[in-house]
């Protein structure tokens, strides 16, 4: 196990003031710049079938991708070079929303071009689950990774915007109705989108 001094040198101690304990960490869904602070409102915490907390998008406008990254290290340079920041706490022990805030310039992650972006959430450090843990608990798990020169394997969740598709509704000529075009999010209910856009469709009877 690495010393606290070795690992903490790879992180910025940038924890923000904590919000009161809450289950849905933030509910607004308009995300701004690709920063940890800008992406934090896009996440919310829920519980899985085992009762453990997990992060999901706060809005149907977003989905998440799971991405595995591996940060190469050497005995001379054992740090990760990843900046973390905490947003909010949960009512579970050591619970919180801890996100990647950036990469340390000249650090191992940046030098290797590792695919980590501000707003990503580390959900696994090696084989250890760290999803919805606060800053301190996340750093403790990273400190417990196998020592350098072994690479550091991390699984992260990343928010991505659900793409839109263009829809065009065409009616039979005898109905003398103009075509209707609208945008809908991929995977959304077509019936719900037709209702939302006030497109009247004939009722089918068996």
pLDDT score of 76 more than 70: yes
pLDDT score of 122 more than 80: yes
pLDDT of residue 189: 80
More confident residue, 79 or 27: 79
* Nearest residue to 159 (alpha-carbon basis) of 71, 68, 74, 43: 43
* Range in 23-27, 36-40, 88-92, 189-193 with the lowest mean pLDDT: 23-27
CA 93 – CA 78 distance, rounded (Å): 29
- Three-state secondary structure call for residue 178: coil
DSSP E strand stretches across the chain:
43-47, 53-57, 62-71, 82-89, 96-103, 121-125, 128-129, 152-161, 164-169, 180-185
148-157 confidence digits (pLDDT tens): 999 999 999 9
Domains belonging to the chain, first-starting first, are 4-161 (2.30.42.10), 164-196 (no CATH)
pLDDT score of 205 more than 60: no
Residues whose CB falls within 8 Å of the CB of residue 169, separated by 6 or more in sequence, listed in order: 179, 180, 181, 194, 199
Q: Are 45 and 25 in contact (CB under 8 A)?
A: yes
Residues whose CB falls within 8 Å of the CB of residue 42, separated by 6 or more in sequence, listed in order: 29, 31, 57, 58, 59, 62, 119, 159
pLDDT score of 190 more than 60: yes
Q: Are 23 and 89 in contact (CB under 8 A)?
A: no
Q: Are 70 and 31 in contact (CB under 8 A)?
A: no
pLDDT of residue 77: 96
Q: Which residues pair with 64 in a beta bridge?
A: 159
Q: Using alpha carbons only, what angle is made at residue 14 by residues 12 and 16, rounded to the nearest 5 degrees?
A: 170
Query: Backbone phi, then psi, for 96, in 5-degree steps?
Result: 180, 180
pLDDT of residue 33: 63
* Nearest residue to 167 (alpha-carbon basis) of 136, 194, 137: 194
pLDDT of residue 10: 36
Per-chain mean pLDDT for the chain: 81
What are 42's two structure tokens?
């896009």
Q: What is the value of pTM for the model shown?
A: 0.70
pLDDT of residue 202: 66
* Nearest residue to 197 (alpha-carbon basis) of 176, 189, 205: 189
9-68 confidence digits (pLDDT tens): 333 323 332 333 332 233 334 565 689 999 999 999 999 889 889 999 998 889 999 999
């Amino acid at each position: 196990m690495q010393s606290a001094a070795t690992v903490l040198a790879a992180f910025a101690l940038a924890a923000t003031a904590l919000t009161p304990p809450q289950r849905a960490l933030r509910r607004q869904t308009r995300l701004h710049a690709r920063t940890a602070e800008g992406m934090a409102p896009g996440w919310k915490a829920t519980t899985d079938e085992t009762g453990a907390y997990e992060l999901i998008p706060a809005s149907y406008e977003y989905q998440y991708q799971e991405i595995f990254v591996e940060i190469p290290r050497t005995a001379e340079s054992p740090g990760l070079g990843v900046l973390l920041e905490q947003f909010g706490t949960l009512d579970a022990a050591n619970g919180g929303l801890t996100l990647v805030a950036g990469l340390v310039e000249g650090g191992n992650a940046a030098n290797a071009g590792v695919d980590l972006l501000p707003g990503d959430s580390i959900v696994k450090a090696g084989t250890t689950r760290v999803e919805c843990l606060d800053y301190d608990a996340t750093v403790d798990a990273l400190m417990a990774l196998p020592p350098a020169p072994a690479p550091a394997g991390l699984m992260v969740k990343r928010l991505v915007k659900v793409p839109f598709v263009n829809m065009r509704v065409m009616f039979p000529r005898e109905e003398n109705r103009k075509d209707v075009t609208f945008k809908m999010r991929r995977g959304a209910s077509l019936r719900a989108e037709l209702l939302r856009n006030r497109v009247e469709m004939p009722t089918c009877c068996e």
